[in-house]
Each structure stands twice: as C-alpha cells, then as structure tokens.
Structure 1
Amino acid sequence: MSQAATADLPDATTSAEYARIRRRAILSCAVGNFVELFDFLIFGLFAAQIAANFFPSGDPVVGLLSAFATYGVGFVMRPVGAIVIGAYGDRKGRKAALVLTVGLMAGATALTGLIPSYATIGIWAPLLLVLCRLVQGFSTGGEWGGAAAFLVEYAPPGRRGLIGSMQQFSVGLALIAGTLIAAVLNSTLSKEQMIDWGWRIPFIMGFVLAPIGLYLRSRVSETPAFHKTVDRQQVASSPVRDALTIYKWPVLAAFGLSVVGTVGNYTFNIFMPSFASGQLGISAGTAYYSSAAAAVVLTLLTPFAGWLSDVVGRKPVLLVSAIGYGLFSYPLFQYLVAAPSGMSLAVTQCISAALLGFYAGPLCAVLAELFPTKVRFTALSIGYSMAVTIFGGFAPFVATFLIRETGSPVSPALFVILAAVISSITLILIKDPTNAPLD
C-alpha cells in the first residue's frame, strides 16, 4: 500500500525541486477549484432566468423562490459528498478525490445548460434541473474540504494561512468571472434573449474549462502529509466514524467557524444582484458589475488576510470579520434600501467583500489545523459542508422569504447577524490552532 501510494511523488532531493513540486501542486489545486466553484456559483447568478425557464409563475417572487430553492437543494447533497468523497480522499488520497470532483461537476454543469425549458418538456425540465443540481452539490461537498486539506498539507509551517488562502483566492476569481459574464450578458442581450438562451452560455463555458482542471490535477503529486500517514500505516479504516466520534468537537467547531463566511457570501454576493434588480429597480447589468467589483475586493484581500493570520494568529483576523458582519450588516442593508443606486449597491457589496476577505483568508488553514491527517479531508468537509447547507445554501431563499413575510427589505440582515453571533462565539471558545503540528 505504501509503495503504491507514493509512486507518483517525485524524489525531491533538493529544496528547489520540492519547491517546484509545491508550486505545481498549488497551481493545479487552485485552477481545479476555480473551475469547480465557477460551475457551482453561476446557478445562483442566473436564478431569475432559470426561474423563468423552469418555474413559470404569474408572481415573479414565487418563481425566484422556486429557483433559489433549487439552488439550495444542491447544498443538501454537500454533506453527502463530504462524507463519501471525504472518506475516499482520506483512504485513497487527496489527488484521486479531487480529480473525481472536477469530472462530476463538469458533467452536471454541461447538462444544466442543455436541459430544455418547461414549455418544451413540461415537468421533466425542473426534475432534470434538480438532478443536475444534486450532482453539483455532491461534487462540491468533496471539493472544498479536499482542496483546503491539499493546500495546507503542502504548505510549510508559518505559511499555511497564505497558501491555504489560495483556495479561497480561486473562489474569488470564480466569483469575478461569473459576475463579469453575468454583467456582460445582461448588458448586451435583451431580457427576452437572456431568458431564451443567454443564461445557458456560462454553463457551456464551465464545461469547456473542466478539461484544464482535470489535466492539471491528474499530473500532480500526492501531499507529503498523506504520504507520511500511508508510510506509517495510520490511514483510517473508517474516517467518517472517527470524525463523528473521536473528533466530534473539532467537527462542531468547524461547523460554527464556517457559518458567518458562508452566509455573508451567499447573501451579499449571490442573493443581492437578483434582489437589487428585481426589487430595488437597479438594472441587472449594473447589479452584476457591482458584484464583480466586490469580487475583486474579496480576491485581493483574501491572500493578505491569510498572510496576516500567519503573523498574528487566526483568531484575531477571523474575529474582526465576524464582529464586523454583526455590526455592519443591518446598516448596510438600510443604506442600500434607503437610496438604491449602482453606487450604493457597490459600496454595500464592497464593504461586505472586505469583511469576507478577512474571514476567507485564514479559514482553510484554521479548519485544517483542527484535525490530524488521517481524518482531515472527511472531518473538515463534514463540518464545513453542514454549515454551508444549513446556513449558506438556503441564504438566498431565506432572504427572499424574510422580505416576503415581513415586508421589510432590510430583514435579510438579521440572518447575517445571527450567523455572525454563532461564529464569534465559536471563535471565543476554541483554542487558536495557528501553526499547530498537522499530526
């Protein structure tokens, strides 16, 4: 088993050779993660057009609720993917699991872009859409934790925050790409063209990008930490059982830590463009350009925050963000609703993006440092995916529902504040694991 597991790791006899292997591994993981998350995020960005094609209704809010509910269904499968793919990655290696996730995502994304509308095939249209979304969720459930574990296990002590932030950096790039494509399409095509065929373009693009991620990941070496676990014959026979029994408290901590980041992301970056264009009268093109600008802020700040957490510790950086969300979410929503415009939307989203960058930067490192190598992939994935499923995936649905039930367009801020309280309490309770030994 040891010989087979280490067969693809080049013999790094010099520090320069090992540095080259590390750079290639980081690049392959980041590019693959970009492809994976781009494919997953575009569903939410084109929710209004998807609703018109698959959930026809006289009330546009009802149609949007249906689309966001389908968007959230993908998150229901994330814990399943976390368990199945996570266990596979802890037993067979990170590389094999990450190649699998990209392949699954590519197929589901391509099919989503090709499904005929409700007007053409009736009830089969939303059923096929939900099926594709379930496969996407299953794939992403294994991708996020696997990419985080892979990067942190390749990072030397003292640089785990920076290198781990490359996972979230690639998520930011995926968000930039998705929102820019949404902005360009909504600015150049008419509303009717977007509904008829324009929304399908990014799904086809996501499928075309997939072979790049597959190629890079298939040629990368397994992580040194996993090799050591194999060589020492410490591979867990049942990583899921161990994660939920021996490491149940760190898994719960990973859950609590992940809440505010995922709610902040899906409320301000995914829900807000549809909210701004559908209910505040801001043009769709302007809303998506604003989201693209916020994504740039997020992407630029994420590596800085990861580096800063290597210097001052994970907890201080994360607490600044979590408390910031608790203090500023309600005033930001009030500011936008009181004076809806492209400028107020950009200010609101960019401030949120700055807060999110400070949370996203250290997140991969702090979650990975909670667990030993033998269960890291599984335990990290379960904790994170449960938070994303319960709080993040349905955040657009919850936000739309709160507005409908309360009549207040500011009410989604209350959900963000709740998430901030949960993550802040978790941060206060845990011991800062910065640069703790991986095993």
Structure 2
Amino acid sequence: MSTVAQEIDAEATAGNKTRVLAAGFIGNILEWYDFAVYGFFAPTIGKLFFPAADARTSLIAAFGAFAAGFLMRPVGAVLFGHIGDRIGRKKALTLSVMMMAVPTMLVGLLPTHAEIGISAAILMILLRMIQGVSVGGEYTSSFVFLVEHAPPHRRAFFGAWSMIGATCGILLGSAVGALINSFTTDIQLQSWGWRIPFLAGVLVAFVGYFIRHGIPDQPLAEELAEQEPSSPLKEAWTEHRTEMLQSAGLNMMNAVTFYTVFIYLSTWLVEEVGETRAEALDINTLSMAALTVLVPITAILADRFGRKPLLLIGSAGVAILSPALLRLMHHHNFAMILTGQIGFAVLVACFAGAIPATITELFRRGVRVSAASISYNIPFAIFGGTAPMVAAWLVKATGNPLAIAWYLSGIAAISFCIILTIKETKGCSLDE
C-alpha cells in the first residue's frame, strides 16, 4: 500500500474512532443531565408536586419519584439488552436517546399540584418511569459499544467515555442549576425557573440522535442475524450466572456512592449544613469537573495495571474514608466542603474508570448487552435510585446528619469482598 493510501486509511480509522467515542459520549450527557437536574431541583419539585406540611417529607416524596425512575431500569435493561444483542448496538443507542427526549420535555411542561391536584404527582412519576426505561438501556449499551470498538490495549479508556459522558451530563446539570439559582428569586424559581433546564435538555437529545444515526454498527451484526431467535437474557443467566452476580455486587457500591455524593449531598449541604443552594451547586459542579478529569486517568491506569487494583482501591477508600470525608464536609466552609467532595470524587473515579471494561469483558458477545444491562441496572434500581431517599430518611430518623457515612461504608465493604472474587479481565479476548 502506498504511503498516501496508508495515511488516508489511518485518517479514516481515526475519524471512525472519534465518531464512535462521540456516539457513546453524547447520549449519556442527556440521560444523566436530566436525572441530575431532577435531583438538584428536588426540593422545589417536592413543594410543587408533592406538597406536605413538613419540607423534609416533601423532599423524601420527590426523591421517591426519583427512585421510581430507577425501579424501571431493569425493564429497560431487558428491552434494550434484547435489541442490542439481537438487532444491534446502534439501534439500541439511537432508540434510547429519543426515548429520553420526549419525557424530559414533558416534565418541563407539566402542570403542578396547585393546578391539577394529585394528577400532577402521578404524571411526574409516570414520566420518571419512562425515563428510567430509557436509562436502563442507554448506559450499558453505550459502554459495550465503546469497548467492542476499542483497540485491545485501550478498552478501559474507550469504555470510560460513557462514564465521562455521564459526568459531563451531571456537570452540565449542576452548572445549569447553579446558573438558574443565581439569576432567579425563590418566587421565580418556583414559578418558572425550574422548568428551563428540562426544556433545554431536548437540544442535547437531537444532537445525540444525529451523531448516533450515522455511526457504524458493531462488526458482529451478520453473526447475530444468523442466530436462531432466542432470549439472550435467559442464555446469559444460564452461562454467566456467577459473573452477573459479581457484576451486580460490584455495582451496589457504584450506585450508592455516586448518587449519594453527587445528587443527594448538594441538597444535604443546604438542608443540614446551611450553605446556600447556589454555593452547594457550585461545590458540586467543581467536584464533578474533577471527576470528569480523573475518570480517563484511572481508565488509563486500568488499561496498564489491570481492572481489579483500581476497583479494590476505590471500594476500600469509600469503606474506610466516608466518615472522615463527610465530617469534613459538615462545616460552613467552602474550601473544606470542596476538599471533602473532591476526596469522594477521587475514590469514585477509581472504580468508574474500570467498571465499563470489566463488565463488558466478563460476558460473551451474543449475550453481552443483556448480561451487562441486567447486572448493572438491578443494583442501580435497588440501591442507586433509593440512595437519596435512604440518605434523607437516615438523617431524619437519627437526627444525625453524618449517619449516611455508615451506609456508604457498609455497602462499599460488601462490594470490596465481592471484587476479590472477580477474575482479572485485562487482556482477555472479546470473541471468546
């Protein structure tokens, strides 16, 4: 091959890899932007859609609706897992991003309890459930797609871009939340300000759709098309039961830590520490920015040294350091709070950078999306979606704002023990 032809081929390959990364990245921005915005505006949504005499009761109800969306994630995992394994990864990715866009827009247009009574709460929960189905297919489909298209020595780095998209989405949601809080009064925020982030999210959806519509599908499309119709989930459970249970155990810690630290604590800082909402969102935005920078670094380390060392460091760190980090954040001091939350960000990055590649490499091709989706989304449904609600309940029940640290530590300790049983997947063949 001539030098010119080789250069053209190299440029085409680089262009395809860039588009693959963008496709895995962009959809997760919308998915997690929306969930983040809901979490950040939960106190306002609680007052408008779940009014109660006690503000904490309204907040718990709002986080209950948040949890309802997560409880639908296993449904999305089954649906999009089947689509991804039997029709193709591209179809699952394209459908999931559009399935998120419509409910996001409708949340921004939804009448409140004062306008239509209890129907407002019911409609809010239904929309969150539809979004939960979409998220159940989005994240796992995207990281499987990315890892399968990655060079063998860069799988963790490629897979981490799904997580980078998620953190960028939450970062964007946090930044938009901080901006809205800075430029609106409390009355304006409750009247119309909270709607703006949801309506604006539709723009991200259409960008994601057009990027994903033009991506190449995974190279095994013909192989899948020749298979007899069957249930990939049933096959996955038969062939990979141990690995699915290990993946679920690993993601218990992932779910609880992520949604407690980066969703609930922004509300906790306002309700329990006395920070202004704008300050709390500023802190969350900075810590999410740190996480976004740290995830690709830990993914590179996972590609070099293996997945398990990073997973063990992250889980052990959360188990041991959560009480100290949360105590550091329980001060009316911006620098101390930020230091504590960035400490959590470092620990989260350790397992966030390694998890996508680990889960993908545990399962064979024909059942990979289904196995990854179910083993990822069930613990997120049970532990992730309920984490803010459990945290709020623990604070209320014990009267101790630091009680949630022991929940974080306990879950992380369980996951640490499970990680010890997982085989090292670095360097394994994805075709086996």
8 A Cα contact 1:259 1:419, kept in partner? yes
What is the alpha-carbon distance in structure 2 between the residues aligned to residue 425 and residue 286 of structure 1?
37
SS of the aligned residue for 2:111 comes to: coil
The Cα offsets for residues 268-323 of structure 1, whole Å up to 9 and x where unpaired, read as 11000111112221100000000000001100000011111010000001111110
What is the alpha-carbon distance in structure 1 between the residues aligned to residue 42 and residue 357 of structure 2?
32
Displacement of 1:81: 0.4
The question of 1:207 aligning with 2:202 is answered yes
Tell me what 2:115 maps to. Answer: 120
After TM superposition, the structure 1 stretch with the greater mean CA deviation from structure 2, 190-199 or 154-163, is 190-199
What is the alpha-carbon distance in structure 2 between the residues aligned to residue 341 and residue 266 of structure 1?
23
8 A Cα contact 1:329 1:416, kept in partner? yes
Match of 1:173 among 168, 176, 183: 168
Match of 1:401 among 387, 393, 398: 393
The question of 1:150 aligning with 2:145 is answered yes
Match of 1:85 among 76, 80, 88: 80
SS of the aligned residue for 2:31 comes to: helix
Residue pairs, 1:322-401, within 5 angstroms: 322-337=315-330, 339-401=331-393
8 A Cα contact 2:98 2:205, kept in partner? yes
Displacement of 1:16: 4.1
Match of 2:92 among 70, 74, 97: 97
The question of 1:239 aligning with 2:232 is answered yes
Q: Which runs of 5+ in 1 are unaligned?
A: 1-12
8 A Cα contact 1:187 1:285, kept in partner? yes
Match of 1:255 among 245, 248, 253: 248
Displacement of 1:143: 0.5
SS of the aligned residue for 2:215 comes to: coil
TM-score w.r.t. structure 2 length?
Answer: 0.95
What is the alpha-carbon distance in structure 1 between the residues aligned to residue 306 and residue 426 of structure 2?
6
What is the alpha-carbon distance in structure 2 between the residues aligned to residue 104 and residue 228 of structure 1?
26
The Cα offsets for residues 336-374 of structure 1, whole Å up to 9 and x where unpaired, read as 22x233222211211111111111111100010000111
The Cα offsets for residues 206-232 of structure 1, whole Å up to 9 and x where unpaired, read as 1122110011111111022x336437x
What RMSD over aligned residues (CA atoms) do the two structures have, in Å? Answer: 1.6
Match of 1:22 among 14, 17, 24: 17
What is the alpha-carbon distance in structure 1 between the residues aligned to residue 86 and residue 37 of structure 2?
32
8 A Cα contact 1:149 1:376, kept in partner? yes
Paired amino acid for 2:209: L
Match of 1:38 among 29, 33, 41: 33
What is the alpha-carbon distance in structure 2 between the residues aligned to residue 209 and residue 162 of structure 1?
24
Displacement of 1:415: 1.3
The question of 1:68 aligning with 2:60 is answered no
8 A Cα contact 1:287 1:345, kept in partner? no
Displacement of 1:41: 2.2
What is the alpha-carbon distance in structure 1 between the residues aligned to residue 171 and residue 279 of structure 2?
14
Paired amino acid for 1:437: S
What is the alpha-carbon distance in structure 2 between the residues aligned to residue 423 and residue 206 of structure 1?
34
What is the alpha-carbon distance in structure 2 between the residues aligned to residue 380 and residue 348 of structure 1?
32
What is the alpha-carbon distance in structure 2 between the residues aligned to residue 358 and residue 292 of structure 1?
19
What is the alpha-carbon distance in structure 1 between the residues aligned to residue 276 and residue 15 of structure 2?
47
Tell me what 1:227 maps to. Answer: 221
What is the alpha-carbon distance in structure 2 between the residues aligned to residue 29 and residue 398 of structure 1?
31
What is the alpha-carbon distance in structure 2 between the residues aligned to residue 235 and residue 131 of structure 1?
35
Displacement of 1:61: 0.3
The question of 1:281 aligning with 2:282 is answered no
Paired amino acid for 1:272: L
Aligned positions, number: 425
Q: Which runs of 5+ in 2 are unaligned?
A: 1-7
Match of 2:430 among 406, 426, 438: 438
TM-score w.r.t. structure 1 length?
Answer: 0.94
Tell me what 2:4 maps to. Answer: none
Displacement of 1:54: 0.2
Displacement of 1:248: 1.3
- Could you tell me the percent identity over the aligned residues? 35
Paired amino acid for 1:363: I
SS of the aligned residue for 1:159 comes to: helix
8 A Cα contact 1:76 1:389, kept in partner? yes
The Cα offsets for residues 237-295 of structure 1, whole Å up to 9 and x where unpaired, read as 21011122221111111101112122111111100011111222110000000000000
8 A Cα contact 2:87 2:224, kept in partner? no
8 A Cα contact 2:32 2:167, kept in partner? no
